[in-house]
Structure 1
Amino acid sequence: MTYKAICSLTTVLCLALSGCGGGSDESPTENASVNAGQDINAVEKSDITLSALVSPTGGTFRWQQLTGPAITGLPSTEAEVALTLPDIKADAQVQVEVQYRAPDTTLVTDTVVINIASDNQLPQIIITQTAPEQLPSQYGDTIVISAAATSDPDENGHIASFTWQQTAGVNVNASGTNTSDISFTHPLLDEHTTLSWHLAVIDDEGGEASSEFSLSLAKTAQVVIANAGNDQQVAEFEIVTLDAQQSQTVSGQFSCFWEQISGTAVTLANSNQCTTSFIAPDIERTQELTFNLTVTDEKSRSDTDSVMIIVDKKPLGLLNDTGMSTCFNNSQAISCDSADFQGQDAQLGRDSVADRLDKVGRGDMAFDFTKLNEFADELPDDATSFSCVRDNITGLIWEVKQASTNTLPNTSLREAHNHYTWAFDDGSGDLVGSVRGAANSTCPSDVDCSAQTYVNEVNATNYCGGSNWRLPNYIELQSILDYQRHGQLQMLSPDLFINLPDYAQLGHLNYWTSRTSVDGQSLSQAFILDMRSGNDLAYPKANTAYVRLVRNP
């Protein structure tokens, strides 16, 4: 307590009556005093009474709080005040002042200190298993252990944290270890086992309580579970991965063995690895490949599973690619993996899987040609004498030229260096712009040296078993160009399209197509393709160019 009265040090009576324990804002009198009593030590939420000794009696009181957490009931004008201390989170100190005005209006004051001790109640832990609904749990069930019913008995308290820790049993990968609920999957077990958990709970005042919880898990009837993965649908030539990593054993350790049991045989990268791969085969129609997986644990216990791989035809189309096996930037060859120059021929279509194609005949990259004799019968790929070739992709049959022997026009009908003007008869007469070259000028024909006459004369011979030979259109002629051979003497396979004319004869290797160039002014030009450079050009029909005939089978 504190005394604020003013006393004379020589006045013994003052010391005896008030101990210098009174004071006022007015001129004090020796007869007015107030004493708030001894300081109080109490626990939160307990009841206390404040009472002051005064002299003389008969005056008025005013109690008020100066510091500390608010106490309901103050201020008060009662002589004696009954209070309930507040609920606090930590120890606190409250200072209360009493003012007493004596009957003669003298005002004196005193203070009392209330030391309030926090009385935190520890959390009350309640743990239950809430899942699965059907007990006992089985392998694969999700098990949930909940402490959500745990509470803080303090009126305004709450739980601040949960900490779960497994203390016994086979290790499980639990989630939510810092929340009220933890969950984990019932593992594979080859014997009954008990899992034990320690839970520590801390409330908002730092009070900590802990508890233990145990549950029994039953052993699993099947202790090895093979998982060959989901069925897949792929295109031929794709790399297919078989993955058994999701298989299960008690220890988590296992070995694998893959075996193909149906479909076109493929070569697995490693049949004894849990993850292996193969290249989907070249097929004629959609096909199902089935693989059997055997998983074995360290105790030689095993299980099997199978997976189906549905292989579809890759949509390669009925046209050849360009023959390119190399990718380029603006100036040089680069890796086809470059992200800056994507979508090149070497990455796409038939050429991108050339080394995986099951060809009927032979040809560079994805090209596939079969040599034919004069009756269009198939010949071995290594035949050195043949009359025409069949493109096994497009189905078209192409003329193979005879070697150049004599000087024009003293040559045979199909010699390589015969050349012609462009003319085309659609059955109702020559198309506009057709030009008939002079007979026996650039070819050995007595009619004329035009492409149409050459077609007629070859058909009259039933060459290579057919009489439907014709000029190829632009796309057809372009389809046999191998652009990987750019910069060489010709852009046709020299093993298949033999007997090309001498470049020096005309200074070009231009071949006619059946497509007229429509330039908006006349129909006097048709497209040629240069077998040396691969370029196309609208070329005057009156000029001469070489001809390579084609027919449908």
Structure 2
Amino acid sequence: MKSPLIVLPLLAVLTACGGGGGGNDNPVVAASVFAGDDQRIIEKSEFTIEAKGSPVDGTFTWQRVSGPIIDSFPLDGALQTITAPDIKANSELLLRVSYQTTDGQLVSDDLLIEIESNNQLPQVIVTQTSPETLPSDYKDTITLSGASSVDPDENGQINSYNWQQIAGPTLAVDSNSNATISFTHPLLDTNTQITWLLTVVDDEGGEASTQYSHTLNKTSDVIIANAGIDQSAIELEKVTLDATGSETVTDTFKCYWQQISGNAILDNQQQCITSFTAPATEAVNTHTFEVTVTDSKGRTDTDTVNIVVKSKPLGLLNDTGMDKCYNNTQEIACTSPDFPRQDAVLGRDSVATTHIEKVGKGELAFDFTKLNEFADELSDSASNFSCIRDNVTGLIWEVKSPNTGTLPNTALREGQNHYTWYLNSGDGVQTGSVQGTPNSTCPSSSNCNLQVYINAVNTLDYCGGTNWRVPTYTELLTLLNYGKHGQSILLDENYFPNTPNSNLLEDGLIYWTSQTSADGTSLSQAYVFDMSNGNDLAYPKGNTAFVRLVRTAGASQ
């Protein structure tokens, strides 16, 4: 309780001049007001406040200074009945009463109201919302919901949910903190009661819990074998069979695989995960496997899986010519698990004798046909031929004529002739092109560059075509047989004879491609391949290198 506030008026006291003694017949009384004793109340309850003022007959006005908002303020009158606001936590409401006397004095006093929160605990309600038709069956999705739980407080709400399973086999739920939980009806051999504990917390920290029990019915099948999904594979690939997705009531089970159709050989028939190598095939074959799953009580079930095996897609590019496997330093068995999936095992060459029907002849998977000067096919044993058709890529390649003299006294298409890189395109001369010196590295009296040589060969209608050109990087790469590494040339000389001496050029047995090496500035280099080792190199266009022309069969002449 506070002492009343008193304000002393500022008045001059007059003293009589002389004898008889006089005084003020109407002295001013100092104003005071008292707001009452501080109070402690419960939220939403009614309480009364009453102020007293002196001198009497003044006016009272109540105002809220701080604390929870009460819409009715300000209030006039000494006596007031107020309903405490709804609050979320204990609060202090500070009220101030102002008292004005009839002679104009104004005084005030404060009143502290302590309001206690009276939180009502939430009511927890659990319902099963799915499946719509009960009882549930194996693999049904069961959903339990606590969303109907309520907070009885007028402006209250549920802030959090927590689900706990306290009885029954452990079930995997999507989330323990959502208003709802979902799980899958498991495999059961007896009707089983599941009990959950749901705890909810409201926005004032009030917590309440309830238990909810329901029964999951036993299933008609207590063991379900699962051989996995059907698969497709390419011949000679490793295929894995996996039955670990099988389900049993018991904690453990074992598997036994057997082949129903096909001729594959399983690595292990008694493991739930096993594998086999897809057999070689010329067609599409289906291999069917059956797994028998047995639980720890001896109960069994079976399931089958189909593996469709297709022949290897060989594509339209030559392979590398590698038919051996290597580690970092030496040749190894191709079955070594330390260096798996090598080209000798997976590449086109690996099935050259079993899956490729060649049009012509060639080493491993290479397939070449000899052509005469009119592009007519010749026998594989022909010793005189002008061009080679690659039956894999469809490209027709120039065959060099025998070396007859010493540069520049040579024939037009001799292998020892070499040229600077100078090519035309639809937009004119290509950037970086360099003219060659006449009668220097070739027999031309005009210029020893690539474009001059191309023009001369096309003028001949050589091998039935006038679309001869310098090969691209990829096209020239298709001729290389890396299995011949360590020999003098990585080409099949039965089809590409008359190779020049590798000592003729300082940088080796290098052949031009049509592709410029983008060095970022001058574009002054183009790619070459060294046919003695298979290395590529960005080579100055002003230097000279050998060339083997190519044309596309059937293209515009």
Which TM-score applies when normalising by structure 2?
0.61
Residue 268 of structure 1 corresponds to which residue in structure 2?
266
**Contact 2:264-2:287 within 8 A present in 1 as well:** no
Measured in 1, the distance between the counterparts of 2:276 and 2:94 equals: 85
What code does the residue aligned with 1:305 have?
D
Q: Please point out which of 289, 303, 326 is paired with 2:287.
A: 289
Measured in 2, the distance between the counterparts of 1:318 and 1:52 equals: 104
**Contact 2:259-2:290 within 8 A present in 1 as well:** yes
Relative to structure 1, the CA distance from residue 26 to residue 239 in structure 2 (aligned partners, 3 Å threshold; closer, same or farther) is farther
Aligned-residue RMSD, C-alpha:
4.7
What code does the residue aligned with 1:157 have?
G
Equivalent pairs: percent with the same residue? 46
**Contact 2:95-2:112 within 8 A present in 1 as well:** yes
Q: List per-residue Cα deviations over 1:392-413 (Å, max 9, x = no partner).
A: 9689999xxxxxxxxxxxxxxx
Q: List per-residue Cα deviations over 1:219-252 (Å, max 9, x = no partner).
A: 1110111111111112111211111121111134
Relative to structure 1, the CA distance from residue 27 to residue 182 in structure 2 (aligned partners, 3 Å threshold; closer, same or farther) is farther
Relative to structure 1, the CA distance from residue 107 to residue 237 in structure 2 (aligned partners, 3 Å threshold; closer, same or farther) is same
Measured in 1, the distance between the counterparts of 2:547 and 2:100 equals: 123
Measured in 2, the distance between the counterparts of 1:277 and 1:492 equals: 39
What code does the residue aligned with 2:5 have?
G
Measured in 1, the distance between the counterparts of 2:30 and 2:317 equals: 124
Instruction: State the secondary structure of the residue aligned to 2:144.
Output: strand
Residue 300 of structure 2 corresponds to which residue in structure 1?
302
Relative to structure 1, the CA distance from residue 30 to residue 316 in structure 2 (aligned partners, 3 Å threshold; closer, same or farther) is same
What code does the residue aligned with 2:99 have?
Y
Listed as ranges, the matches of 1:83-482 within 5 Å are 83-263=82-262, 265-316=263-314, 321-325=319-323, 346=344, 349-351=347-349, 354=350, 357=351, 359=353
**Contact 1:228-1:307 within 8 A present in 2 as well:** yes
Measured in 2, the distance between the counterparts of 1:26 and 1:279 equals: 112
Relative to structure 1, the CA distance from residue 100 to residue 484 in structure 2 (aligned partners, 3 Å threshold; closer, same or farther) is same
Q: CA deviation at 1:344?
A: 9.3
Residue 62 of structure 1 corresponds to which residue in structure 2?
61
Unaligned runs of 5+ in 1: 4-20, 337-342, 361-365, 370-387, 399-415, 425-432, 438-470, 472-477, 509-529, 540-553
Q: List per-residue Cα deviations over 1:7-39 (Å, max 9, x = no partner).
A: xxxxxxxxxxxxxx2323855965643322222
Relative to structure 1, the CA distance from residue 390 to residue 68 in structure 2 (aligned partners, 3 Å threshold; closer, same or farther) is closer
Measured in 1, the distance between the counterparts of 2:265 and 2:284 equals: 19
Q: List per-residue Cα deviations over 1:395-446 (Å, max 9, x = no partner).
A: 9999xxxxxxxxxxxxxxxxx9xx977679xxxxxxxx99999xxxxxxxxx
Residue 515 of structure 2 corresponds to which residue in structure 1?
none
Measured in 1, the distance between the counterparts of 2:42 and 2:123 equals: 21
Instruction: State the secondary structure of the residue aligned to 2:483.
Output: helix
Q: CA deviation at 1:127?
A: 0.8
2:38 pairs with 1:39: yes
Measured in 2, the distance between the counterparts of 1:434 and 1:36 equals: 120
**Contact 1:36-1:111 within 8 A present in 2 as well:** yes
Residue 429 of structure 2 corresponds to which residue in structure 1?
none
Measured in 2, the distance between the counterparts of 1:436 and 1:157 equals: 100
Q: List per-residue Cα deviations over 1:314-340 (Å, max 9, x = no partner).
A: 1126997442147999x999999xxxx
Measured in 2, the distance between the counterparts of 1:421 and 1:184 equals: 79
**Contact 2:100-2:106 within 8 A present in 1 as well:** yes
Residue 2 of structure 1 corresponds to which residue in structure 2?
2
Instruction: State the secondary structure of the residue aligned to 2:198.
Output: strand
**Contact 1:161-1:178 within 8 A present in 2 as well:** yes
Measured in 1, the distance between the counterparts of 2:202 and 2:245 equals: 41
Measured in 1, the distance between the counterparts of 2:285 and 2:222 equals: 34
Measured in 2, the distance between the counterparts of 1:436 and 1:490 equals: 17
**Contact 1:163-1:179 within 8 A present in 2 as well:** yes
What code does the residue aligned with 1:211 have?
T
Relative to structure 1, the CA distance from residue 318 to residue 100 in structure 2 (aligned partners, 3 Å threshold; closer, same or farther) is closer
Instruction: State the secondary structure of the residue aligned to 1:278.
Output: strand
Q: CA deviation at 1:480?
A: 11
2:5 pairs with 1:22: yes
Measured in 2, the distance between the counterparts of 1:26 and 1:268 equals: 113
Unaligned runs of 5+ in 2: 12-27, 335-340, 371-380, 388-398, 404-462, 464-476, 503-529, 536-544, 549-557
Measured in 1, the distance between the counterparts of 2:241 and 2:401 equals: 64
Measured in 2, the distance between the counterparts of 1:26 and 1:82 equals: 33
Measured in 2, the distance between the counterparts of 1:240 and 1:77 equals: 91
Measured in 2, the distance between the counterparts of 1:258 and 1:190 equals: 26
Measured in 1, the distance between the counterparts of 2:531 and 2:52 equals: 126
Q: CA deviation at 1:179?
A: 1.1
**Contact 2:490-2:533 within 8 A present in 1 as well:** yes
**Contact 1:423-1:436 within 8 A present in 2 as well:** no
What code does the residue aligned with 2:49 have?
L
